[in-house]
Amino acid sequence: MPTPQPGIFALGTRSHHHLELDLAPGADRAAVVAALGALREPRVTSGAANLVIGFGSSAWTLVAPGEPPAGSGPFTELVGRDGHRAPATQHDVWAWIHGSGTDTVLDCAVAVAGALAGVATVADETPCFVYHDSRDLTGFVDGTANPSPTAAPAVACVPDGRTGAGGSHVLAQRWVHDLTSFSRLRVDDQEAVIGRTKPDSVALPGDTRPSDSHISRAEVHDDQGRERPVYRRSTPFGTVAERGLFFLAFSAERDRFDQMLGSMYGTEGREQRDRLLDFSRPVTGSYYFAPSVEDLVALGANAG
Protein backbone atom coordinates (compact mmCIF):
# COMPACT_ATOMS: atom_id res chain seq x y z
CA MET A 1 0.00 0.00 0.00
CA PRO A 2 1.24 3.54 -0.65
CA THR A 3 2.49 5.33 2.45
CA PRO A 4 -0.12 7.12 4.59
CA GLN A 5 0.87 10.52 5.92
CA PRO A 6 2.76 9.51 9.09
CA GLY A 7 1.29 12.28 11.23
CA ILE A 8 -2.07 10.53 11.12
CA PHE A 9 -0.71 7.79 13.36
CA ALA A 10 1.98 9.66 15.35
CA LEU A 11 1.03 9.33 19.02
CA GLY A 12 2.22 10.97 22.22
CA THR A 13 1.92 14.60 21.12
CA ARG A 14 0.15 17.00 23.46
CA SER A 15 -0.11 20.24 21.44
CA HIS A 16 -2.33 20.35 18.34
CA HIS A 17 -3.36 23.04 15.88
CA HIS A 18 -5.93 22.87 13.07
CA LEU A 19 -6.06 25.27 10.14
CA GLU A 20 -8.89 25.25 7.60
CA LEU A 21 -8.28 27.35 4.51
CA ASP A 22 -10.22 28.55 1.47
CA LEU A 23 -8.56 28.81 -1.93
CA ALA A 24 -8.54 32.25 -3.47
CA PRO A 25 -11.18 32.73 -6.19
CA GLY A 26 -9.67 31.81 -9.52
CA ALA A 27 -6.57 30.18 -8.06
CA ASP A 28 -5.04 27.98 -10.74
CA ARG A 29 -3.55 24.55 -10.35
CA ALA A 30 0.05 25.53 -10.97
CA ALA A 31 0.00 28.21 -8.28
CA VAL A 32 -1.72 25.97 -5.74
CA VAL A 33 0.63 23.05 -6.39
CA ALA A 34 3.67 25.33 -6.11
CA ALA A 35 2.41 26.61 -2.75
CA LEU A 36 1.79 23.08 -1.55
CA GLY A 37 5.34 22.17 -2.51
CA ALA A 38 6.58 24.87 -0.15
CA LEU A 39 5.08 22.90 2.76
CA ARG A 40 8.04 20.50 2.47
CA GLU A 41 10.60 23.26 2.93
CA PRO A 42 12.68 23.36 6.16
CA ARG A 43 11.01 26.55 7.40
CA VAL A 44 7.75 24.60 7.61
CA THR A 45 8.95 21.15 8.62
CA SER A 46 11.61 22.07 11.19
CA GLY A 47 10.85 21.79 14.88
CA ALA A 48 9.79 18.13 15.07
CA ALA A 49 6.09 18.87 14.49
CA ASN A 50 3.87 16.48 12.54
CA LEU A 51 1.99 17.93 9.57
CA VAL A 52 -1.02 16.30 7.91
CA ILE A 53 -2.66 17.89 4.87
CA GLY A 54 -6.16 17.20 3.56
CA PHE A 55 -8.25 18.57 0.72
CA GLY A 56 -11.92 19.26 0.21
CA SER A 57 -13.31 17.43 -2.82
CA SER A 58 -13.27 20.43 -5.15
CA ALA A 59 -9.72 21.39 -4.15
CA TRP A 60 -8.47 17.81 -4.62
CA THR A 61 -10.09 17.69 -8.06
CA LEU A 62 -8.25 20.92 -8.92
CA VAL A 63 -4.79 19.78 -7.86
CA ALA A 64 -5.10 16.08 -8.79
CA PRO A 65 -7.24 15.82 -11.92
CA GLY A 66 -8.70 12.39 -12.55
CA GLU A 67 -11.04 10.05 -10.77
CA PRO A 68 -11.54 11.13 -7.13
CA PRO A 69 -11.58 8.59 -4.28
CA ALA A 70 -14.92 6.80 -3.95
CA GLY A 71 -17.45 8.70 -1.86
CA SER A 72 -15.69 12.05 -2.10
CA GLY A 73 -17.84 15.12 -1.65
CA PRO A 74 -18.40 18.11 0.62
CA PHE A 75 -19.98 17.96 4.04
CA THR A 76 -23.67 18.87 3.87
CA GLU A 77 -25.83 20.07 6.73
CA LEU A 78 -27.52 17.33 8.73
CA VAL A 79 -30.82 18.03 10.48
CA GLY A 80 -31.85 15.43 12.99
CA ARG A 81 -34.45 14.74 15.64
CA ASP A 82 -35.53 17.41 18.13
CA GLY A 83 -34.02 20.22 16.10
CA HIS A 84 -30.42 19.08 16.47
CA ARG A 85 -28.26 19.90 13.47
CA ALA A 86 -24.73 19.45 12.24
CA PRO A 87 -23.81 22.53 10.21
CA ALA A 88 -21.70 22.41 7.07
CA THR A 89 -18.71 24.75 6.93
CA GLN A 90 -16.75 23.01 4.17
CA HIS A 91 -13.35 24.49 3.36
CA ASP A 92 -10.76 23.65 0.70
CA VAL A 93 -7.60 22.73 2.61
CA TRP A 94 -7.08 21.44 6.12
CA ALA A 95 -3.74 21.32 7.95
CA TRP A 96 -3.26 19.48 11.24
CA ILE A 97 -0.05 20.28 13.07
CA HIS A 98 0.80 18.44 16.29
CA GLY A 99 3.88 18.04 18.41
CA SER A 100 5.31 18.06 21.91
CA GLY A 101 5.29 21.81 22.47
CA THR A 102 2.90 24.66 21.81
CA ASP A 103 5.78 26.84 20.60
CA THR A 104 6.98 24.56 17.81
CA VAL A 105 3.42 23.70 16.79
CA LEU A 106 2.48 27.37 16.54
CA ASP A 107 5.65 28.13 14.57
CA CYS A 108 4.73 25.40 12.10
CA ALA A 109 1.11 26.59 11.83
CA VAL A 110 2.31 30.12 11.06
CA ALA A 111 4.71 28.74 8.45
CA VAL A 112 1.95 26.66 6.81
CA ALA A 113 -0.34 29.68 6.59
CA GLY A 114 2.54 31.74 5.18
CA ALA A 115 3.43 29.14 2.56
CA LEU A 116 -0.17 29.07 1.31
CA ALA A 117 -0.81 32.80 1.67
CA GLY A 118 -0.61 33.45 -2.06
CA VAL A 119 -3.34 30.98 -2.92
CA ALA A 120 -5.45 30.49 0.22
CA THR A 121 -6.63 32.28 3.33
CA VAL A 122 -7.19 30.88 6.81
CA ALA A 123 -10.96 30.56 7.32
CA ASP A 124 -10.95 28.76 10.68
CA GLU A 125 -8.33 27.94 13.28
CA THR A 126 -8.48 25.77 16.40
CA PRO A 127 -5.56 25.27 18.80
CA CYS A 128 -6.06 22.09 20.85
CA PHE A 129 -4.36 20.14 23.61
CA VAL A 130 -4.34 16.78 25.35
CA TYR A 131 -6.25 17.08 28.63
CA HIS A 132 -4.80 15.09 31.52
CA ASP A 133 -4.81 11.36 30.62
CA SER A 134 -6.46 11.88 27.19
CA ARG A 135 -9.80 12.96 28.64
CA ASP A 136 -12.45 15.10 27.07
CA LEU A 137 -13.39 18.18 29.08
CA THR A 138 -16.49 16.29 30.26
CA GLY A 139 -14.03 14.21 32.30
CA PHE A 140 -14.44 11.04 30.22
CA VAL A 141 -11.54 9.37 28.43
CA ASP A 142 -11.78 9.98 24.68
CA GLY A 143 -10.95 7.34 22.08
CA THR A 144 -10.91 4.32 24.40
CA ALA A 145 -12.19 1.98 21.69
CA ASN A 146 -9.78 3.16 19.00
CA PRO A 147 -8.16 0.40 16.93
CA SER A 148 -4.68 -0.60 18.02
CA PRO A 149 -1.66 1.03 16.33
CA THR A 150 -1.17 -2.06 14.17
CA ALA A 151 -4.83 -2.20 13.13
CA ALA A 152 -5.32 1.55 12.65
CA PRO A 153 -3.96 1.85 9.07
CA ALA A 154 -6.42 -0.74 7.75
CA VAL A 155 -9.28 1.16 9.41
CA ALA A 156 -8.13 4.61 8.34
CA CYS A 157 -6.66 4.16 4.85
CA VAL A 158 -8.04 3.34 1.42
CA PRO A 159 -6.76 -0.16 0.54
CA ASP A 160 -4.59 -1.14 -2.40
CA GLY A 161 -6.33 -1.37 -5.74
CA ARG A 162 -8.67 1.56 -5.12
CA THR A 163 -8.37 5.16 -6.20
CA GLY A 164 -6.58 7.10 -3.48
CA ALA A 165 -4.92 4.02 -1.95
CA GLY A 166 -2.95 4.93 1.15
CA GLY A 167 -5.01 8.08 1.64
CA SER A 168 -7.72 8.61 4.20
CA HIS A 169 -11.16 10.19 4.35
CA VAL A 170 -11.33 12.75 7.17
CA LEU A 171 -14.21 14.16 9.22
CA ALA A 172 -13.37 17.38 11.06
CA GLN A 173 -15.87 19.06 13.38
CA ARG A 174 -15.53 21.49 16.27
CA TRP A 175 -18.01 20.60 19.04
CA VAL A 176 -18.88 23.09 21.79
CA HIS A 177 -19.87 21.58 25.15
CA ASP A 178 -22.47 22.80 27.61
CA LEU A 179 -20.36 21.77 30.57
CA THR A 180 -22.53 23.64 33.05
CA SER A 181 -25.56 21.50 32.23
CA PHE A 182 -23.53 18.30 31.98
CA SER A 183 -21.88 18.86 35.35
CA ARG A 184 -25.28 19.16 37.01
CA LEU A 185 -25.95 15.49 36.25
CA ARG A 186 -25.03 12.88 38.81
CA VAL A 187 -22.02 10.81 37.76
CA ASP A 188 -24.16 7.75 37.04
CA ASP A 189 -26.39 9.88 34.79
CA GLN A 190 -23.31 11.22 33.00
CA GLU A 191 -22.17 7.64 32.48
CA ALA A 192 -25.58 6.79 31.01
CA VAL A 193 -25.17 9.65 28.50
CA ILE A 194 -21.71 8.46 27.42
CA GLY A 195 -22.15 4.70 27.86
CA ARG A 196 -18.92 4.27 29.83
CA THR A 197 -17.80 4.59 33.42
CA LYS A 198 -16.16 7.92 34.19
CA PRO A 199 -13.14 6.95 36.34
CA ASP A 200 -11.78 4.06 34.25
CA SER A 201 -13.67 4.23 30.90
CA VAL A 202 -15.17 0.75 31.02
CA ALA A 203 -18.11 0.25 28.65
CA LEU A 204 -21.40 -0.26 30.46
CA PRO A 205 -22.76 -3.79 29.94
CA GLY A 206 -24.97 -4.13 26.89
CA ASP A 207 -28.04 -5.05 28.93
CA THR A 208 -27.75 -1.89 31.08
CA ARG A 209 -26.29 0.57 28.57
CA PRO A 210 -28.95 3.00 27.32
CA SER A 211 -29.63 2.64 23.61
CA ASP A 212 -29.37 6.42 23.24
CA SER A 213 -25.94 6.59 24.91
CA HIS A 214 -23.14 8.06 22.87
CA ILE A 215 -21.23 4.84 22.31
CA SER A 216 -24.44 3.00 21.41
CA ARG A 217 -25.29 5.55 18.72
CA ALA A 218 -21.74 6.24 17.44
CA GLU A 219 -20.86 2.56 16.96
CA VAL A 220 -22.23 1.40 13.59
CA HIS A 221 -22.33 -1.97 11.81
CA ASP A 222 -22.71 -3.40 8.34
CA ASP A 223 -25.51 -5.68 7.14
CA GLN A 224 -23.71 -8.71 8.59
CA GLY A 225 -23.44 -7.10 12.02
CA ARG A 226 -19.73 -6.34 11.76
CA GLU A 227 -18.57 -3.06 13.27
CA ARG A 228 -17.48 -0.33 10.85
CA PRO A 229 -14.86 1.46 12.95
CA VAL A 230 -13.18 4.80 12.38
CA TYR A 231 -9.83 5.98 13.73
CA ARG A 232 -10.26 8.92 16.11
CA ARG A 233 -7.65 11.61 16.85
CA SER A 234 -9.86 14.14 18.63
CA THR A 235 -8.46 16.70 21.10
CA PRO A 236 -10.08 19.28 23.41
CA PHE A 237 -9.90 23.01 22.94
CA GLY A 238 -10.98 25.72 25.29
CA THR A 239 -11.03 29.07 26.95
CA VAL A 240 -12.98 30.21 29.97
CA ALA A 241 -15.76 31.33 27.63
CA GLU A 242 -15.97 28.31 25.29
CA ARG A 243 -14.79 24.73 25.63
CA GLY A 244 -15.28 21.60 23.63
CA LEU A 245 -13.73 18.95 21.39
CA PHE A 246 -12.24 19.10 17.92
CA PHE A 247 -13.59 15.82 16.59
CA LEU A 248 -11.16 14.33 14.10
CA ALA A 249 -11.59 10.90 12.55
CA PHE A 250 -10.10 8.94 9.65
CA SER A 251 -11.70 6.19 7.60
CA ALA A 252 -11.01 4.00 4.59
CA GLU A 253 -14.58 4.69 3.44
CA ARG A 254 -16.37 8.03 3.57
CA ASP A 255 -19.82 6.53 4.13
CA ARG A 256 -18.83 5.21 7.57
CA PHE A 257 -19.02 8.82 8.74
CA ASP A 258 -22.41 9.33 7.09
CA GLN A 259 -23.74 6.21 8.80
CA MET A 260 -22.32 7.25 12.18
CA LEU A 261 -23.77 10.75 12.02
CA GLY A 262 -27.14 9.41 10.84
CA SER A 263 -27.24 7.11 13.85
CA MET A 264 -26.27 9.90 16.22
CA TYR A 265 -28.85 12.33 14.84
CA GLY A 266 -31.66 9.82 14.36
CA THR A 267 -32.15 10.45 10.64
CA GLU A 268 -33.52 8.25 7.85
CA GLY A 269 -36.23 6.58 9.91
CA ARG A 270 -34.07 5.86 12.95
CA GLU A 271 -36.10 5.99 16.13
CA GLN A 272 -33.44 7.36 18.46
CA ARG A 273 -30.69 9.94 18.57
CA ASP A 274 -27.58 10.38 20.67
CA ARG A 275 -28.39 11.90 24.06
CA LEU A 276 -24.98 13.57 24.09
CA LEU A 277 -26.44 16.09 21.62
CA ASP A 278 -28.29 17.62 24.58
CA PHE A 279 -24.91 18.66 26.01
CA SER A 280 -22.67 19.22 22.98
CA ARG A 281 -23.20 20.63 19.50
CA PRO A 282 -21.01 20.94 16.43
CA VAL A 283 -20.37 24.42 15.10
CA THR A 284 -18.24 23.38 12.11
CA GLY A 285 -18.26 20.43 9.74
CA SER A 286 -16.02 19.46 6.81
CA TYR A 287 -14.95 16.35 4.92
CA TYR A 288 -11.40 16.17 3.60
CA PHE A 289 -9.20 13.63 1.86
CA ALA A 290 -5.67 13.20 3.19
CA PRO A 291 -3.74 11.65 0.27
CA SER A 292 -0.81 9.30 0.57
CA VAL A 293 2.75 10.60 0.72
CA GLU A 294 3.33 9.35 -2.82
CA ASP A 295 0.28 11.20 -4.15
CA LEU A 296 1.43 14.41 -2.45
CA VAL A 297 4.90 14.09 -3.97
CA ALA A 298 3.36 13.36 -7.38
CA LEU A 299 1.55 16.69 -7.31
CA GLY A 300 4.87 18.53 -7.48
CA ALA A 301 6.31 16.11 -10.04
CA ASN A 302 3.33 16.69 -12.34
CA ALA A 303 3.09 20.45 -11.81
CA GLY A 304 2.65 22.62 -14.83
Kindly list the catalytic residues.
142
User: What does each C-alpha distance from 106 to 17, 26, 98, 115, 293 come to in angstroms?
Assistant: 7, 29, 9, 14, 23
What CA–CA distance (Å, rounded) separates 165 from 2? 6
Task: Give the SS3 label for residue 120.
Answer: strand
What CA–CA distance (Å, rounded) separates 21 from 243? 22
Q: Where are the beta strands (DSSP E) in the chain?
A: 15-23, 50-55, 78-79, 85-86, 93-99, 120-129, 168-177, 231-232, 235-238, 243-251, 280-282, 286-290
Give the phi and the psi of residue 212 in degrees, each rounded to 5. Answer: -100, 10
What CA–CA distance (Å, rounded) separates 104 from 43? 11
Report DSSP letters for 212-226, one per residue: TSHHHHH--B-TTS-
What CA–CA distance (Å, rounded) separates 112 from 214? 35
Helices (H), 46-166: 57-63, 102-115, 152-156
What CA–CA distance (Å, rounded) separates 230 from 28? 34
> Do the Cβ atoms of 265 and 274 come closer than 8 Å?
yes
